[in-house]
Amino acid sequence: MPRYRLLVEYDGTPFVGWQRQPNGDSVQGVLEQALAKLCGQPVMVQCAGRTDAGVHACGQVAHVDLPREYSADAVRDAANFHAKPHPVAVLRAELVSDDFHARFSAVGRAYVYRILNRRAPSVLDKNRVWWVAVGLDVERMQEGANHLLGCHDFTSFRAAACQAASPVKHLDVLDVRRCGEMIEIHAGARSFLHHQVRNMVGTLKLVGEGKWSPDDVRVALKACSRAAAGPTAPPEGLYLTSVRY
């Protein structure tokens, strides 16, 4: 069966997350139903990084096996036609060899977390950013972030529900940048633990507002206890931006 690689964008707001679940619409479910309409039989779509409810993607990658060959553009256009009115779009489809696996072939994931840092609430970016009214010092946040770079046991930043075999991960990128009222935190690694990015962001926010020193991040990491780190940042600021193969 021909395998297609899909580049997918979605607004995570109305979904229970990427993964099919009985309690609501999922991105996976929308794509599977849309592609089933194209080929007249059930299909299964697998992605590189399962995102939680409310988390967005502009560069999710998925693959699907279809019962016969279509042009890549026909797959993209049919998926977009049948996905309406759900906020999911296939930006690109391409035929790939059947040893390509969206999840297991991936060697890098990149996320961005956006914080709108101003007194006035978010309006044009509602559900697209974490609104933080208190002023954040991005230099201090970057200092704190630097303690997390490299290979560590990230137990302190791992959700209780995390199913990864090991809490040891190598964090390649954790850049904190301000552009006017918007703060973007770019994170890159081969893979992440469940809630890792949001837990790191929730912790760096404490540093940015001066409740923690940058060095407290190092202490929290070393503690290897979820209770030692900061709270989980809300989902609406998080975007899966790209997957590397």
**Of the listed 52, 99, 125, 153, which one is catalytic?**
52
CA distance 29 to 49: 15
Q: Which of 107, 124, 151, 165 binds a second copy (CB under 8 A)?
A: 124
Round the CA-based radius of gyration of the chain to a whole number and report it.
19
| Residue 128 lies near a second copy (rule: CB under 8 A) | yes
Enter the tokens of residue 125. 């970016």
Q: For residue 68, give the amino acid letter.
A: R
Q: Is 52 a catalytic residue?
A: yes
**Residue bearing tokens 């791992």:** 158
Closer by beta carbon to a second copy, 101 or else 118: 118
User: Binders of a second copy among 210-239, rule CB under 8 A?
Assistant: none
For position 82 contacting a second copy by CB under 8 A, the verdict is: no
**Cβ closest to a second copy, residue 79 vs residue 243:** 79
Instruction: Give the binding-site size for a second copy (rule: CB under 8 A).
Output: 24
The stretch among 81-89, 141-149, 169-177, 202-210 that binds a second copy (CB under 8 A) is: 81-89
* Cβ closest to a second copy, residue 68 vs residue 119: 119
Beta-carbon contacts of 89 under 8 Å, excluding residues fewer than 6 positions away, are 8, 9, 10, 80, 83
| Residue 101, φ and ψ in degrees, nearest 5 | -130, 120
Q: Report the C-alpha gap between 5 and 168 in whole angstroms.
A: 29
Question: Residues near 73 by Cβ (< 8 Å), separated by ≥ 6?
Answer: 93
Give the length of the chain.
245
Q: Which of 4, 5, 11, 102 is the binder for a second copy (CB under 8 A)?
A: 11
Phi/psi for 56 (5° steps) reads -100, 170
Q: Figure out which of the listed residues 14, 32, 82, 87 binds a second copy, where binding follows CB under 8 A.
A: 87
Which residue type does 142 have?
A: Q
Does 184 sit near a second copy (CB under 8 A)?
no
> Which residues inside 60-79 make contact with a second copy, applying CB under 8 A?
73, 76-77
State yes or no: residue 118 binds a second copy (CB under 8 A). Answer: yes
Q: Which residues are catalytic, by number?
A: 52
* Contacting residues toward a second copy, per CB under 8 A: 9-11, 56, 58, 73, 76-77, 80, 84, 87-91, 118-124, 126, 128
